[in-house]
Amino acid sequence: MNMYDIIYKKREGGALDKEEIEFFIDGYTNGSIPDYQASALLMTIFFQKMSREETYALTTSMKNSGDIVDLSEIEGIKVDKHSTGGVGDKTTLVVGPLAAACGVPIAKMSGRGLGFTGGTVDKMESIPGFKTTLEANEFISLVNRVGLSVIGQTAHIAPADKKLYALRDVTATVDNLSLITSSIMSKKLASGSDAIVLDVKCGNGAFMERLEDACELGELMVEIGKADGKKTIAVITDMNQPLGLAVGNSLEVIEAIETLKGKGPKDITELSLILASHMIYAGEKADSPEEGYQMAQQALESGAALKKFAEFIVGQGGDPKVIDDHTLFPRPSCFSEIHSEVDGFVGAIEARAIGLASQHSGAGRATKEDLIDLSAGIMLYKKVGDSVQRGDLLATVYGNDQARVDRGAQEAAAAFLIQDSQPKENALVKRVIQ
Ligand code: URA
């Protein structure tokens, strides 16, 4: 068996068998298959697509490329959550404390930014002192003590995904159903939780733009999760404009903190409560998602979730003073403002364009090796449906390199559509698959 023949077979529209997929995953993980051949196969998969059987085999090989975590030392039903990736999606930082405050143990591994979307690990690293790498015993003892720990993907868990994730990010091969499914489910199944809640984003700021594609992705992931014995729920949610008002690492953490204080934007607050409700239900702390919702709301209103967030920061070595003093976050030295040139209503804010503008202002990576600017990003002051007058501030782009910030501002300005009539509101949750 050799990599050339595998690429050729897929290029010609053939279906790869389990042995060929294992050969690729083993070889790429151990370094015997180089990036250029892996890139060629990824691009071929992107164009030729994979069958359900191939996707199952790819997920299993990637899951088995490393350790399978044993979380049995943590009491209770451990629930994991994963988003397929969106713009301004800081829900993990809100949902984790909400569910943990309701007694659901959360032992979660998160990723870095991918393409135009942000990643929870990059966001958490904007908290001074916060460690996103912990030894397994520290991770487990933190979940037992605090009820919540979120770390970066370790080199031992689904290492094939760790390498492929970074490669896909820079080879325009992210938005493929089989590659997303295998990436997410390989690490979720290897991470040891008993139940998984998936936030499948749908819209112009998601990898799946059409509802039917997002549903297909959700259904396939739920099927794979259940086949592995995990309770799996997929919530298909709107990503036709950025979530909340902040896009960019430290800006999003600040917004998550404000949300936990009960002062967050409506969409991020509502989505966090909904996702938490499913996690509380999946963790068997509530008899229904509706009861879970009430519990999450109570945790938010009582301040229990904010307290949990503070304990979580301290547990991972971060400075909890950031909760009340946002000046402790990395600060940008440059900014550029975007003003409306006309009167009207915000008809659309193209989320993908805002994600790219944020990435270009310094918040995301263009190559695997790039260092990111944790202070860079975009604050929106208007959302879809808001009325605007000529001269109103629509957004501010932040960073530490004025040329990059100006480029980001130009792109972000083009993402706003101002129209005469008020657009219809988009439903936040489109479907729940379980
Ligand atoms: N999140 C992941 O972990 N992998 C993907 O491919 C997309 C989003």
Is 183 marked active-site?
A: yes
Asked, for residue 424, whether it belongs to a domain, the answer is no
Answer yes or no: do 400 and 267 share one domain: no
Residue 323 is given by DSSP the state: G
Q: How far is the CA of 48 from the centre of ligand 1 (A)?
A: 20
Answer yes or no: do 94 and 164 share one domain: yes
Residues with CB under 6 A from ligand 1: 84-85, 111, 114, 165, 174, 179-180, 183-184
Give pLDDT, residue 368. Answer: 67
For a mutational test of ligand 1's pocket, the pick from 80, 184, 201, i.e. the residue with the most ligand atoms closer than 8 A to its C-beta, is: 184
Q: What tokens appear for 419 in the block?
A: 């129209």
Answer yes or no: do 39 and 124 share one domain: no
- Which residue CA neighbors atom 2 of ligand 1 most closely? 184
Give pLDDT, residue 363. Answer: 87
Residue 284 is given by DSSP the state: T
Answer yes or no: do 131 and 271 share one domain: yes
Is 401 marked active-site?
A: no
Q: Of all helices (H) and strands (E), which one includes residue 36?
A: helix 35-48
Q: What's the CATH code of the domain at 397?
A: 3.90.1170.30
Strand ordering across the sheet containing 416-419: 387-388, 344-349, 416-419
- Which residue in the list 80, 89, 161, 199 is annotated as catalytic? 161
End-to-end Cα, the chain, rounded Å: 39
Asked, for residue 64, whether it belongs to a domain, the answer is no
Q: What's the CATH code of the domain at 162?
A: 3.40.1030.10
Asked, for residue 72, whether it belongs to a domain, the answer is no
Q: What tokens appear for 427 in the block?
A: 């439903």
Asked, for residue 131, whether it belongs to a domain, the answer is yes
Q: What tokens appear for 288 in the block?
A: 């229904």
Domain containing residue 38: 3-48
Is 161 marked active-site?
A: yes
- Which residue in the list 78, 123, 163, 187 is annotated as catalytic? 187
Answer yes or no: do 39 and 89 share one domain: no
Q: Distance between CA atoms of 214 and 201, rounded to whole angstroms? A: 7
Name the phi and psi angles at 399, rounded to 5.
Answer: 175, -165
Answer yes or no: do 269 and 226 share one domain: yes
pLDDT < 50 positions in the chain = none
Contact 353, 336 (CB under 8 A): no
CA 363 to chain centre: 15
Answer yes or no: do 275 and 386 share one domain: no
Asked, for residue 203, whether it belongs to a domain, the answer is yes
Give pLDDT, residue 370. Answer: 75
Is 187 marked active-site?
A: yes
Contact 397, 357 (CB under 8 A): yes
Answer yes or no: do 311 and 366 share one domain: no
Asked, for residue 127, whether it belongs to a domain, the answer is yes
* Domain final residue pick, 293, 323, 353: 323
Answer yes or no: do 163 and 259 share one domain: yes
Answer yes or no: do 315 and 337 share one domain: no
Give pLDDT, residue 119. Answer: 85
Is 360 marked active-site?
A: no
Q: Distance between CA atoms of 206 and 189, rounded to whole angstroms? A: 23
Q: Distance between CA atoms of 2 and 25, rounded to whole angstroms? A: 12
CB-based contacts of 203, cutoff 8 Å, min separation 6: 209, 238, 239, 240, 241, 351, 426
Answer yes or no: do 293 and 167 share one domain: yes
Give pLDDT, residue 110. Answer: 86
Specify the 3-state DSSP secondary structure of 334: strand
Q: How far is the CA of 184 from the centre of ligand 1 (A)?
A: 5
Asked, for residue 415, whether it belongs to a domain, the answer is yes
Half-sphere CA count of 217, side-chain side, radius 13 A? 31
Name the phi and psi angles at 59, rounded to 5.
Answer: -60, -45
Q: Distance between CA atoms of 395 and 418, rounded to whole angstroms? A: 13
Answer yes or no: do 335 and 315 share one domain: no
Q: Distance between CA atoms of 71 and 60, rounded to whole angstroms? A: 20
Q: How far is the CA of 159 from the centre of ligand 1 (A)?
A: 14
- Count of the separate structural domains present in the chain: 3
